[in-house]
Structure 1
Amino acid sequence: MLRSFLFLAAGLLTTSALAQPPSNPAASTGRDCLIRTNATPTSWMIQGYDPFGGSLPEGTFGVTFVNEGSSECRFTPVFELVQPPFGLSTGSGKPIGYALLSMSDSQDVTPRAGRSQQRPSQRDLKLGPNESRTLLYKLVADPDDVADAGTFTQNVLIEAQDNLFRSLGGTQLVLGINVLPSARIGLAGAFMMDNGHAVVNLGELRRGIAPVPLQLRVNSTGRYALSVSSANSGRLRLGLSEWYVPYTIAIGGTSVNLTGERSVAGPPSSGFRRDSLPIQFQIGDVADRRAGTYSDVISITVTAR
Protein backbone atom coordinates (compact mmCIF):
# COMPACT_ATOMS: atom_id res chain seq x y z
CA MET A 1 0.00 0.00 0.00
CA LEU A 2 1.35 3.41 -0.97
CA ARG A 3 0.64 6.17 1.51
CA SER A 4 1.96 9.68 1.76
CA PHE A 5 2.33 12.55 4.14
CA LEU A 6 2.88 16.10 2.97
CA PHE A 7 4.52 18.61 5.30
CA LEU A 8 3.60 22.25 4.83
CA ALA A 9 5.68 25.08 6.27
CA ALA A 10 4.00 28.50 6.28
CA GLY A 11 6.00 31.72 6.23
CA LEU A 12 5.37 35.44 6.55
CA LEU A 13 6.91 38.51 4.96
CA THR A 14 5.81 42.10 5.47
CA THR A 15 6.91 45.18 3.64
CA SER A 16 6.46 48.75 4.54
CA ALA A 17 6.83 52.24 3.22
CA LEU A 18 6.91 54.85 6.00
CA ALA A 19 5.91 58.44 5.23
CA GLN A 20 6.22 61.57 7.38
CA PRO A 21 3.91 64.47 6.47
CA PRO A 22 5.42 67.95 6.66
CA SER A 23 4.73 70.25 9.60
CA ASN A 24 3.25 73.71 9.34
CA PRO A 25 3.42 75.48 12.71
CA ALA A 26 1.40 78.66 13.21
CA ALA A 27 2.59 81.85 14.89
CA SER A 28 1.55 82.65 18.46
CA THR A 29 -0.32 85.83 19.29
CA GLY A 30 -1.87 87.32 22.39
CA ARG A 31 -2.74 90.55 24.25
CA ASP A 32 -1.84 90.72 27.93
CA CYS A 33 -0.53 87.17 27.66
CA LEU A 34 1.68 85.72 24.98
CA ILE A 35 1.88 81.93 24.88
CA ARG A 36 4.42 80.21 22.67
CA THR A 37 3.36 76.65 21.90
CA ASN A 38 6.08 74.17 20.98
CA ALA A 39 5.15 70.66 19.84
CA THR A 40 8.06 68.27 19.31
CA PRO A 41 7.63 66.69 16.87
CA THR A 42 5.02 68.67 14.96
CA SER A 43 3.83 65.44 13.30
CA TRP A 44 2.24 63.08 15.80
CA MET A 45 2.51 59.85 13.83
CA ILE A 46 1.78 56.33 15.02
CA GLN A 47 4.52 54.67 13.01
CA GLY A 48 4.69 51.14 11.62
CA TYR A 49 1.31 49.81 12.78
CA ASP A 50 0.77 46.15 11.83
CA PRO A 51 -2.98 45.38 11.85
CA PHE A 52 -2.21 41.70 12.49
CA GLY A 53 0.41 42.28 15.19
CA GLY A 54 -2.02 42.30 18.11
CA SER A 55 -0.94 45.68 19.51
CA LEU A 56 -3.04 48.83 19.97
CA PRO A 57 -2.19 51.69 17.56
CA GLU A 58 -1.14 54.47 19.93
CA GLY A 59 1.61 56.96 20.64
CA THR A 60 2.44 59.55 23.31
CA PHE A 61 3.57 63.07 22.40
CA GLY A 62 4.37 66.33 24.20
CA VAL A 63 3.54 70.04 23.92
CA THR A 64 5.39 72.79 25.81
CA PHE A 65 3.60 76.05 26.64
CA VAL A 66 5.81 79.07 27.41
CA ASN A 67 4.49 82.37 28.78
CA GLU A 68 6.46 85.05 26.96
CA GLY A 69 4.25 87.84 28.28
CA SER A 70 4.71 90.08 31.31
CA SER A 71 1.68 88.91 33.29
CA GLU A 72 0.21 85.66 34.52
CA CYS A 73 -1.74 83.65 31.96
CA ARG A 74 -4.65 81.28 32.58
CA PHE A 75 -5.78 79.15 29.68
CA THR A 76 -7.02 75.79 28.49
CA PRO A 77 -5.33 73.81 25.69
CA VAL A 78 -7.89 73.19 22.94
CA PHE A 79 -7.59 71.08 19.77
CA GLU A 80 -9.46 72.23 16.65
CA LEU A 81 -9.80 70.66 13.22
CA VAL A 82 -8.17 72.63 10.40
CA GLN A 83 -10.58 71.08 7.94
CA PRO A 84 -13.45 68.67 8.76
CA PRO A 85 -14.59 65.93 8.64
CA PHE A 86 -13.12 64.28 11.69
CA GLY A 87 -10.82 61.30 11.17
CA LEU A 88 -7.42 60.26 9.84
CA SER A 89 -7.60 59.99 6.07
CA THR A 90 -5.67 59.67 2.82
CA GLY A 91 -8.18 61.97 1.13
CA SER A 92 -10.53 59.19 0.07
CA GLY A 93 -12.32 56.26 1.66
CA LYS A 94 -13.60 55.91 5.19
CA PRO A 95 -11.49 57.87 7.74
CA ILE A 96 -9.94 56.21 10.78
CA GLY A 97 -11.39 57.38 14.06
CA TYR A 98 -9.08 58.33 16.90
CA ALA A 99 -8.97 59.67 20.43
CA LEU A 100 -6.71 62.33 21.99
CA LEU A 101 -6.25 61.91 25.73
CA SER A 102 -4.57 64.37 28.09
CA MET A 103 -2.19 62.42 30.31
CA SER A 104 -1.91 65.24 32.88
CA ASP A 105 -5.57 65.30 33.92
CA SER A 106 -7.05 62.19 32.21
CA GLN A 107 -9.32 64.30 30.00
CA ASP A 108 -10.63 63.32 26.55
CA VAL A 109 -9.71 66.30 24.33
CA THR A 110 -10.63 64.70 20.98
CA PRO A 111 -12.04 67.29 18.50
CA ARG A 112 -14.85 65.00 17.31
CA ALA A 113 -17.27 67.91 16.76
CA GLY A 114 -14.58 70.18 15.34
CA ARG A 115 -12.95 71.19 18.62
CA SER A 116 -12.24 69.82 22.10
CA GLN A 117 -15.21 69.95 24.43
CA GLN A 118 -14.40 71.65 27.73
CA ARG A 119 -15.67 69.86 30.82
CA PRO A 120 -16.33 71.14 34.36
CA SER A 121 -13.63 68.83 35.73
CA GLN A 122 -11.02 70.36 33.41
CA ARG A 123 -8.80 72.87 35.18
CA ASP A 124 -7.13 75.93 33.66
CA LEU A 125 -3.40 75.94 33.17
CA LYS A 126 -1.68 78.82 35.00
CA LEU A 127 1.71 80.16 33.91
CA GLY A 128 3.61 83.10 35.32
CA PRO A 129 5.89 85.31 33.20
CA ASN A 130 8.68 83.26 31.54
CA GLU A 131 7.22 80.08 33.06
CA SER A 132 6.75 76.95 30.95
CA ARG A 133 5.03 73.62 31.26
CA THR A 134 5.01 70.46 29.16
CA LEU A 135 1.85 68.39 28.78
CA LEU A 136 1.68 64.85 27.40
CA TYR A 137 -1.06 63.60 25.12
CA LYS A 138 -1.83 60.10 23.91
CA LEU A 139 -3.09 59.54 20.35
CA VAL A 140 -5.03 56.29 19.94
CA ALA A 141 -6.39 55.19 16.54
CA ASP A 142 -9.40 52.90 16.23
CA PRO A 143 -8.06 49.52 14.97
CA ASP A 144 -11.54 48.53 13.75
CA ASP A 145 -11.45 51.43 11.25
CA VAL A 146 -8.14 50.34 9.68
CA ALA A 147 -9.07 48.87 6.30
CA ASP A 148 -6.00 49.42 4.12
CA ALA A 149 -2.27 50.06 4.24
CA GLY A 150 -0.89 53.58 3.88
CA THR A 151 -0.45 56.86 5.74
CA PHE A 152 -3.61 58.47 7.17
CA THR A 153 -3.46 62.01 8.58
CA GLN A 154 -5.44 64.99 9.82
CA ASN A 155 -4.30 68.57 10.45
CA VAL A 156 -5.32 70.14 13.75
CA LEU A 157 -4.56 73.30 15.72
CA ILE A 158 -3.69 73.24 19.40
CA GLU A 159 -4.41 76.62 20.99
CA ALA A 160 -4.12 78.14 24.42
CA GLN A 161 -7.57 79.71 24.95
CA ASP A 162 -8.63 81.89 27.87
CA ASN A 163 -12.07 81.80 29.52
CA LEU A 164 -13.42 84.14 26.82
CA PHE A 165 -12.32 81.64 24.13
CA ARG A 166 -9.61 84.02 22.88
CA SER A 167 -6.45 82.46 21.50
CA LEU A 168 -3.29 83.34 23.41
CA GLY A 169 -1.11 81.35 21.03
CA GLY A 170 -1.00 78.02 19.27
CA THR A 171 0.54 75.85 16.62
CA GLN A 172 -0.51 73.40 13.93
CA LEU A 173 -0.06 69.65 14.27
CA VAL A 174 -0.34 66.70 11.93
CA LEU A 175 -1.99 63.68 13.53
CA GLY A 176 -1.57 60.40 11.74
CA ILE A 177 -0.96 56.68 11.52
CA ASN A 178 1.23 54.70 9.16
CA VAL A 179 -0.29 51.28 8.46
CA LEU A 180 2.17 48.70 7.20
CA PRO A 181 1.36 46.42 4.27
CA SER A 182 0.98 43.12 6.11
CA ALA A 183 -0.32 39.60 5.55
CA ARG A 184 -0.76 36.36 7.49
CA ILE A 185 -1.45 32.85 6.28
CA GLY A 186 -2.81 29.72 7.90
CA LEU A 187 -4.47 26.42 7.05
CA ALA A 188 -7.95 25.05 7.56
CA GLY A 189 -9.22 21.56 6.89
CA ALA A 190 -7.68 18.08 7.14
CA PHE A 191 -4.24 18.48 8.70
CA MET A 192 -2.41 17.89 12.00
CA MET A 193 0.40 19.87 13.61
CA ASP A 194 3.72 18.14 14.34
CA ASN A 195 6.80 20.09 15.52
CA GLY A 196 5.55 23.31 13.98
CA HIS A 197 4.63 21.73 10.64
CA ALA A 198 1.19 21.09 9.21
CA VAL A 199 1.04 17.41 8.27
CA VAL A 200 -1.40 16.52 5.48
CA ASN A 201 -2.29 12.86 5.00
CA LEU A 202 -3.00 12.25 1.30
CA GLY A 203 -4.25 8.75 2.06
CA GLU A 204 -3.59 5.75 -0.18
CA LEU A 205 -1.86 7.02 -3.28
CA ARG A 206 -3.93 6.76 -6.43
CA ARG A 207 -3.53 8.65 -9.63
CA GLY A 208 -5.75 11.75 -9.76
CA ILE A 209 -6.89 14.33 -7.22
CA ALA A 210 -6.34 13.30 -3.60
CA PRO A 211 -9.62 13.54 -1.60
CA VAL A 212 -8.23 15.94 1.04
CA PRO A 213 -10.27 19.03 2.05
CA LEU A 214 -7.70 21.77 2.69
CA GLN A 215 -7.79 25.56 2.42
CA LEU A 216 -5.11 28.23 2.64
CA ARG A 217 -6.39 31.16 4.71
CA VAL A 218 -4.92 34.58 3.84
CA ASN A 219 -5.53 37.77 5.82
CA SER A 220 -4.01 40.82 4.15
CA THR A 221 -4.16 44.61 4.19
CA GLY A 222 -4.41 44.54 0.39
CA ARG A 223 -2.78 42.86 -2.56
CA TYR A 224 -0.42 39.97 -1.93
CA ALA A 225 1.56 37.22 -3.65
CA LEU A 226 2.28 33.64 -2.62
CA SER A 227 5.66 31.99 -3.09
CA VAL A 228 5.60 28.16 -3.23
CA SER A 229 8.51 25.73 -3.25
CA SER A 230 8.95 21.96 -2.90
CA ALA A 231 11.89 20.24 -1.19
CA ASN A 232 11.71 17.35 -3.72
CA SER A 233 10.80 19.47 -6.77
CA GLY A 234 7.23 18.22 -6.98
CA ARG A 235 7.87 14.59 -6.05
CA LEU A 236 6.76 12.52 -3.07
CA ARG A 237 9.81 10.58 -1.90
CA LEU A 238 10.07 7.21 -0.14
CA GLY A 239 12.31 7.96 2.82
CA LEU A 240 15.87 8.61 1.64
CA SER A 241 15.52 6.29 -1.33
CA GLU A 242 15.35 7.17 -5.01
CA TRP A 243 11.72 6.05 -5.27
CA TYR A 244 9.38 8.94 -6.15
CA VAL A 245 5.77 9.65 -7.05
CA PRO A 246 5.22 12.86 -9.07
CA TYR A 247 2.49 15.29 -8.07
CA THR A 248 1.33 18.87 -8.54
CA ILE A 249 -0.79 21.24 -6.49
CA ALA A 250 -3.32 23.96 -7.27
CA ILE A 251 -3.96 26.90 -4.92
CA GLY A 252 -7.18 28.80 -5.41
CA GLY A 253 -7.63 27.12 -8.80
CA THR A 254 -4.14 28.12 -10.00
CA SER A 255 -1.85 25.21 -10.88
CA VAL A 256 1.65 25.49 -9.40
CA ASN A 257 4.74 23.98 -11.05
CA LEU A 258 6.86 22.65 -8.19
CA THR A 259 10.09 22.07 -10.12
CA GLY A 260 11.36 25.37 -8.66
CA GLU A 261 10.16 28.28 -6.54
CA ARG A 262 6.97 29.66 -8.05
CA SER A 263 4.89 32.76 -7.38
CA VAL A 264 1.09 32.85 -7.28
CA ALA A 265 -0.50 36.30 -7.54
CA GLY A 266 -3.38 37.09 -5.23
CA PRO A 267 -6.48 39.11 -6.18
CA PRO A 268 -5.70 42.52 -7.72
CA SER A 269 -8.07 44.56 -5.55
CA SER A 270 -6.86 46.66 -2.60
CA GLY A 271 -8.23 46.90 0.92
CA PHE A 272 -8.47 44.29 3.67
CA ARG A 273 -8.87 40.74 2.46
CA ARG A 274 -9.79 37.50 4.21
CA ASP A 275 -9.45 34.83 1.53
CA SER A 276 -9.93 31.08 1.74
CA LEU A 277 -8.09 29.39 -1.15
CA PRO A 278 -8.68 25.65 -1.71
CA ILE A 279 -5.57 23.50 -2.11
CA GLN A 280 -5.73 20.43 -4.38
CA PHE A 281 -3.14 17.71 -4.83
CA GLN A 282 -2.91 16.00 -8.23
CA ILE A 283 -1.11 12.63 -7.92
CA GLY A 284 0.82 11.34 -10.92
CA ASP A 285 1.84 7.81 -11.97
CA VAL A 286 2.01 5.36 -9.04
CA ALA A 287 2.52 2.17 -11.05
CA ASP A 288 5.43 -0.15 -10.14
CA ARG A 289 6.36 1.80 -7.02
CA ARG A 290 7.62 0.20 -3.83
CA ALA A 291 5.23 0.15 -0.90
CA GLY A 292 5.83 2.63 1.90
CA THR A 293 5.23 6.19 2.99
CA TYR A 294 6.07 8.89 0.46
CA SER A 295 6.41 12.51 1.56
CA ASP A 296 7.53 15.99 0.59
CA VAL A 297 7.87 19.38 2.28
CA ILE A 298 6.16 22.39 0.71
CA SER A 299 6.96 25.94 1.85
CA ILE A 300 4.38 28.68 1.27
CA THR A 301 5.24 32.33 1.93
CA VAL A 302 2.95 35.33 1.61
CA THR A 303 4.23 38.80 0.69
CA ALA A 304 2.07 41.89 1.22
CA ARG A 305 2.19 44.36 -1.66
Structure 2
Amino acid sequence: MESLVQPIESELRSCLSTYFVMPQLREHAQACVEAKLGESLLFGKMTVLHYRMFAGEDDRIYRAAAAVELMILSLDIIDDLQDRDNQEVPWSRFAPEIALNIALGFLTVSQKLLLTSGFPLERVQQAVQVLNRQVLTAIHGQTTDLLNAVASEEEYVAMIAQKSAALLVSACMIGTLLATGEWVEQVRHYAEELGIAAQIKNDIRDLLCWDRKNDFLNRKRTLPTLYLLQSLAEEDQWVAHYFEGRLPVEEILHRREEWERVLEKTGTLLYTSVRMRTHYYRYLELVGKLNLESGWKEQMLAFAE
Protein backbone atom coordinates (compact mmCIF):
# COMPACT_ATOMS: atom_id res chain seq x y z
CA MET A 1 0.00 0.00 0.00
CA GLU A 2 3.02 2.30 0.03
CA SER A 3 2.36 2.98 -3.65
CA LEU A 4 -0.71 4.92 -2.53
CA VAL A 5 1.30 7.55 -0.71
CA GLN A 6 2.71 9.47 -3.67
CA PRO A 7 -0.64 10.17 -5.40
CA ILE A 8 -2.19 11.29 -2.10
CA GLU A 9 0.83 13.51 -1.38
CA SER A 10 0.51 15.05 -4.84
CA GLU A 11 -3.15 15.89 -4.29
CA LEU A 12 -2.44 17.40 -0.89
CA ARG A 13 0.36 19.62 -2.15
CA SER A 14 -1.58 20.66 -5.24
CA CYS A 15 -4.58 21.92 -3.29
CA LEU A 16 -2.42 24.34 -1.29
CA SER A 17 -1.51 26.51 -4.24
CA THR A 18 -5.11 26.41 -5.47
CA TYR A 19 -6.97 27.28 -2.30
CA PHE A 20 -4.48 29.10 -0.04
CA VAL A 21 -3.72 32.24 -2.01
CA MET A 22 -2.28 34.44 0.76
CA PRO A 23 1.49 33.73 0.78
CA GLN A 24 1.92 33.61 4.56
CA LEU A 25 -1.17 31.47 5.04
CA ARG A 26 -0.02 29.12 2.27
CA GLU A 27 3.43 28.88 3.84
CA HIS A 28 1.98 27.93 7.21
CA ALA A 29 -0.47 25.50 5.62
CA GLN A 30 2.40 23.91 3.70
CA ALA A 31 4.30 23.33 6.95
CA CYS A 32 1.25 21.62 8.43
CA VAL A 33 0.79 19.40 5.37
CA GLU A 34 4.47 18.44 5.33
CA ALA A 35 4.16 17.38 8.97
CA LYS A 36 1.14 15.27 8.03
CA LEU A 37 3.10 13.68 5.18
CA GLY A 38 5.63 12.48 7.73
CA GLU A 39 2.92 10.23 9.16
CA SER A 40 1.42 7.04 7.72
CA LEU A 41 -1.57 8.67 5.94
CA LEU A 42 -3.61 5.79 7.38
CA PHE A 43 -6.99 7.41 6.79
CA GLY A 44 -6.30 8.22 3.15
CA LYS A 45 -4.94 4.74 2.55
CA MET A 46 -8.06 3.21 4.09
CA THR A 47 -10.20 5.32 1.76
CA VAL A 48 -8.33 4.04 -1.29
CA LEU A 49 -8.21 0.46 -0.01
CA HIS A 50 -11.97 0.30 0.47
CA TYR A 51 -12.57 1.84 -2.94
CA ARG A 52 -10.30 -0.72 -4.61
CA MET A 53 -11.53 -3.78 -2.72
CA PHE A 54 -15.11 -2.94 -3.68
CA ALA A 55 -14.04 -2.90 -7.34
CA GLY A 56 -13.45 0.83 -7.76
CA GLU A 57 -10.85 1.50 -10.47
CA ASP A 58 -10.76 5.28 -10.99
CA ASP A 59 -7.60 7.16 -9.95
CA ARG A 60 -9.76 10.09 -8.85
CA ILE A 61 -10.05 8.25 -5.55
CA TYR A 62 -6.73 9.83 -4.57
CA ARG A 63 -8.40 13.24 -4.51
CA ALA A 64 -11.04 11.85 -2.16
CA ALA A 65 -8.31 10.29 -0.01
CA ALA A 66 -6.56 13.68 0.19
CA ALA A 67 -9.89 15.19 1.26
CA VAL A 68 -10.11 12.69 4.11
CA GLU A 69 -6.53 13.41 5.21
CA LEU A 70 -7.18 17.17 5.21
CA MET A 71 -10.26 16.61 7.36
CA ILE A 72 -8.18 14.57 9.80
CA LEU A 73 -5.42 17.19 9.82
CA SER A 74 -7.90 19.98 10.53
CA LEU A 75 -9.27 18.12 13.55
CA ASP A 76 -5.75 17.24 14.75
CA ILE A 77 -4.88 20.94 14.76
CA ILE A 78 -8.04 21.87 16.63
CA ASP A 79 -7.51 19.01 19.10
CA ASP A 80 -3.96 20.18 19.83
CA LEU A 81 -5.12 23.77 20.26
CA GLN A 82 -7.65 22.58 22.82
CA ASP A 83 -5.40 20.17 24.71
CA ARG A 84 -2.21 22.28 24.49
CA ASP A 85 -0.07 19.17 25.04
CA ASN A 86 1.79 18.76 21.74
CA GLN A 87 4.57 21.26 21.15
CA GLU A 88 6.34 19.24 18.46
CA VAL A 89 3.98 20.05 15.57
CA PRO A 90 4.25 23.19 13.38
CA TRP A 91 0.82 24.58 14.27
CA SER A 92 1.79 24.76 17.94
CA ARG A 93 4.41 27.32 16.94
CA PHE A 94 1.88 29.56 15.19
CA ALA A 95 -0.36 32.07 16.91
CA PRO A 96 -3.47 30.10 17.98
CA GLU A 97 -5.78 32.26 15.88
CA ILE A 98 -3.67 31.60 12.77
CA ALA A 99 -3.56 27.86 13.46
CA LEU A 100 -7.35 27.89 13.87
CA ASN A 101 -7.78 29.65 10.51
CA ILE A 102 -5.58 27.03 8.86
CA ALA A 103 -7.64 24.23 10.44
CA LEU A 104 -10.89 25.83 9.22
CA GLY A 105 -9.35 26.21 5.78
CA PHE A 106 -8.35 22.54 5.67
CA LEU A 107 -11.82 21.43 6.74
CA THR A 108 -13.41 23.59 4.02
CA VAL A 109 -10.97 22.43 1.34
CA SER A 110 -11.58 18.79 2.27
CA GLN A 111 -15.21 19.20 1.24
CA LYS A 112 -14.17 21.11 -1.87
CA LEU A 113 -11.92 18.25 -2.93
CA LEU A 114 -14.73 15.74 -2.52
CA LEU A 115 -17.18 17.94 -4.44
CA THR A 116 -14.71 18.29 -7.33
CA SER A 117 -13.50 14.68 -7.33
CA GLY A 118 -15.36 13.87 -10.55
CA PHE A 119 -17.35 10.92 -9.27
CA PRO A 120 -21.08 10.64 -10.05
CA LEU A 121 -22.94 13.43 -8.28
CA GLU A 122 -25.13 11.12 -6.19
CA ARG A 123 -22.10 9.29 -4.79
CA VAL A 124 -20.23 12.53 -4.14
CA GLN A 125 -23.19 13.85 -2.19
CA GLN A 126 -23.30 10.66 -0.14
CA ALA A 127 -19.58 10.96 0.60
CA VAL A 128 -19.88 14.61 1.67
CA GLN A 129 -22.82 13.75 3.90
CA VAL A 130 -20.80 10.98 5.57
CA LEU A 131 -17.83 13.30 6.09
CA ASN A 132 -19.99 16.01 7.64
CA ARG A 133 -21.94 13.60 9.83
CA GLN A 134 -18.83 11.87 11.14
CA VAL A 135 -17.06 15.18 11.82
CA LEU A 136 -20.07 16.33 13.82
CA THR A 137 -20.07 13.01 15.69
CA ALA A 138 -16.38 13.46 16.45
CA ILE A 139 -17.04 17.00 17.71
CA HIS A 140 -19.56 15.59 20.18
CA GLY A 141 -17.04 12.99 21.31
CA GLN A 142 -14.28 15.59 21.62
CA THR A 143 -16.57 17.81 23.71
CA THR A 144 -17.27 14.92 26.06
CA ASP A 145 -13.53 14.33 26.29
CA LEU A 146 -12.83 18.00 27.05
CA LEU A 147 -15.45 18.02 29.79
CA ASN A 148 -13.62 15.02 31.31
CA ALA A 149 -16.81 13.85 32.96
CA VAL A 150 -17.15 10.19 31.93
CA ALA A 151 -17.92 8.12 35.02
CA SER A 152 -17.53 4.53 33.78
CA GLU A 153 -15.57 2.42 31.32
CA GLU A 154 -18.71 1.96 29.23
CA GLU A 155 -19.17 5.71 28.95
CA TYR A 156 -15.55 6.10 27.93
CA VAL A 157 -15.79 3.46 25.18
CA ALA A 158 -18.96 5.16 23.92
CA MET A 159 -17.10 8.47 23.85
CA ILE A 160 -14.15 7.18 21.82
CA ALA A 161 -16.58 5.45 19.46
CA GLN A 162 -17.86 8.95 18.74
CA LYS A 163 -14.50 10.67 18.72
CA SER A 164 -11.71 8.51 17.28
CA ALA A 165 -13.62 5.65 15.70
CA ALA A 166 -16.05 7.94 13.89
CA LEU A 167 -13.21 9.35 11.80
CA LEU A 168 -11.98 5.90 10.74
CA VAL A 169 -15.57 5.02 9.83
CA SER A 170 -15.62 8.15 7.66
CA ALA A 171 -12.48 7.11 5.75
CA CYS A 172 -13.65 3.55 5.14
CA MET A 173 -17.22 4.47 4.23
CA ILE A 174 -16.24 7.24 1.81
CA GLY A 175 -14.14 4.78 -0.17
CA THR A 176 -16.95 2.21 -0.04
CA LEU A 177 -19.65 4.68 -1.10
CA LEU A 178 -17.64 6.06 -4.00
CA ALA A 179 -17.13 2.49 -5.27
CA THR A 180 -20.60 1.07 -4.66
CA GLY A 181 -23.04 3.88 -3.93
CA GLU A 182 -24.17 1.84 -0.93
CA TRP A 183 -23.79 2.07 2.83
CA VAL A 184 -22.25 -1.22 3.96
CA GLU A 185 -23.05 -1.66 7.64
CA GLN A 186 -20.40 -4.33 8.14
CA VAL A 187 -17.73 -1.83 7.07
CA ARG A 188 -19.00 0.70 9.59
CA HIS A 189 -18.99 -1.94 12.31
CA TYR A 190 -15.44 -3.21 11.83
CA ALA A 191 -14.05 0.30 11.27
CA GLU A 192 -15.56 1.34 14.59
CA GLU A 193 -14.05 -1.68 16.39
CA LEU A 194 -10.62 -0.95 14.92
CA GLY A 195 -10.91 2.73 15.84
CA ILE A 196 -11.78 1.88 19.44
CA ALA A 197 -8.88 -0.57 19.67
CA ALA A 198 -6.47 2.02 18.27
CA GLN A 199 -7.57 4.66 20.78
CA ILE A 200 -7.21 2.30 23.73
CA LYS A 201 -3.73 1.45 22.47
CA ASN A 202 -2.96 5.20 22.48
CA ASP A 203 -4.34 5.42 26.03
CA ILE A 204 -1.82 2.80 27.15
CA ARG A 205 1.01 4.70 25.47
CA ASP A 206 -0.06 8.00 27.01
CA LEU A 207 -0.15 6.42 30.46
CA LEU A 208 3.43 5.18 30.19
CA CYS A 209 5.03 8.42 29.06
CA TRP A 210 5.96 10.83 31.85
CA ASP A 211 5.52 14.18 30.13
CA ARG A 212 2.80 16.64 29.14
CA LYS A 213 0.83 13.96 27.29
CA ASN A 214 0.54 11.65 30.28
CA ASP A 215 -3.17 11.16 30.98
CA PHE A 216 -2.60 10.65 34.69
CA LEU A 217 -0.61 13.88 35.04
CA ASN A 218 -3.38 15.64 33.10
CA ARG A 219 -6.05 14.00 35.28
CA LYS A 220 -7.84 12.67 32.22
CA ARG A 221 -10.52 10.04 32.58
CA THR A 222 -9.58 7.24 30.20
CA LEU A 223 -10.16 3.50 30.25
CA PRO A 224 -6.89 2.76 32.10
CA THR A 225 -7.19 5.63 34.59
CA LEU A 226 -10.77 4.70 35.43
CA TYR A 227 -9.75 1.10 36.09
CA LEU A 228 -6.69 2.20 38.05
CA LEU A 229 -8.65 4.46 40.40
CA GLN A 230 -10.96 1.66 41.48
CA SER A 231 -8.08 -0.80 41.99
CA LEU A 232 -5.80 1.15 44.33
CA ALA A 233 -4.46 -0.30 47.56
CA GLU A 234 -4.61 1.81 50.73
CA GLU A 235 -0.94 2.75 50.53
CA ASP A 236 -1.38 4.03 46.98
CA GLN A 237 -4.18 6.48 47.68
CA TRP A 238 -1.87 9.36 46.77
CA VAL A 239 -2.77 8.49 43.16
CA ALA A 240 -6.46 9.14 43.84
CA HIS A 241 -5.67 12.25 45.86
CA TYR A 242 -3.71 13.72 42.96
CA PHE A 243 -6.39 12.78 40.45
CA GLU A 244 -9.01 14.49 42.62
CA GLY A 245 -6.90 17.67 42.71
CA ARG A 246 -5.93 17.34 46.36
CA LEU A 247 -2.22 17.24 45.49
CA PRO A 248 -0.40 19.59 43.10
CA VAL A 249 1.58 18.15 40.21
CA GLU A 250 4.85 19.31 41.80
CA GLU A 251 4.35 16.80 44.61
CA ILE A 252 4.12 13.75 42.37
CA LEU A 253 6.52 14.47 39.48
CA HIS A 254 9.37 12.76 41.36
CA ARG A 255 7.28 9.60 41.92
CA ARG A 256 7.57 8.05 38.46
CA GLU A 257 9.06 4.75 39.67
CA GLU A 258 6.39 4.49 42.36
CA TRP A 259 3.76 5.25 39.71
CA GLU A 260 5.04 2.43 37.52
CA ARG A 261 4.87 0.02 40.46
CA VAL A 262 1.25 1.04 41.06
CA LEU A 263 0.44 0.31 37.42
CA GLU A 264 1.96 -3.15 37.80
CA LYS A 265 0.31 -3.92 41.15
CA THR A 266 -3.17 -2.99 39.96
CA GLY A 267 -2.82 -4.86 36.66
CA THR A 268 -3.96 -1.72 34.85
CA LEU A 269 -1.84 -2.28 31.75
CA LEU A 270 -2.80 -5.94 31.48
CA TYR A 271 -6.50 -5.19 31.91
CA THR A 272 -6.43 -2.36 29.37
CA SER A 273 -4.50 -4.48 26.87
CA VAL A 274 -7.14 -7.20 27.16
CA ARG A 275 -9.90 -4.66 26.53
CA MET A 276 -7.99 -3.34 23.51
CA ARG A 277 -7.51 -6.82 22.07
CA THR A 278 -11.20 -7.61 22.53
CA HIS A 279 -12.09 -4.87 20.08
CA TYR A 280 -9.21 -5.85 17.79
CA TYR A 281 -10.43 -9.47 17.65
CA ARG A 282 -13.95 -8.26 16.85
CA TYR A 283 -12.44 -6.33 13.96
CA LEU A 284 -10.64 -9.46 12.75
CA GLU A 285 -13.82 -11.50 13.03
CA LEU A 286 -15.88 -9.02 11.03
CA VAL A 287 -13.24 -8.64 8.33
CA GLY A 288 -13.09 -12.43 8.09
CA LYS A 289 -16.80 -12.52 7.27
CA LEU A 290 -16.42 -10.23 4.26
CA ASN A 291 -16.95 -11.88 0.89
CA LEU A 292 -13.57 -10.77 -0.43
CA GLU A 293 -10.50 -12.37 -1.95
CA SER A 294 -7.82 -13.31 0.56
CA GLY A 295 -5.43 -10.65 -0.74
CA TRP A 296 -7.79 -7.85 0.30
CA LYS A 297 -8.33 -9.40 3.71
CA GLU A 298 -4.58 -9.61 4.24
CA GLN A 299 -4.21 -5.92 3.50
CA MET A 300 -7.03 -5.09 5.90
CA LEU A 301 -5.36 -7.10 8.63
CA ALA A 302 -1.99 -5.50 7.93
CA PHE A 303 -3.45 -2.04 8.62
CA ALA A 304 -4.41 -3.13 12.12
CA GLU A 305 -0.91 -4.23 13.13
Query: TM-score range with shorter-chain normalisation?
Result: under 0.3
- Structure in which a larger fraction of residues adopt helix: 2
Bigger Rg, which one: 1
- Structure in which a larger fraction of residues adopt strand: 1
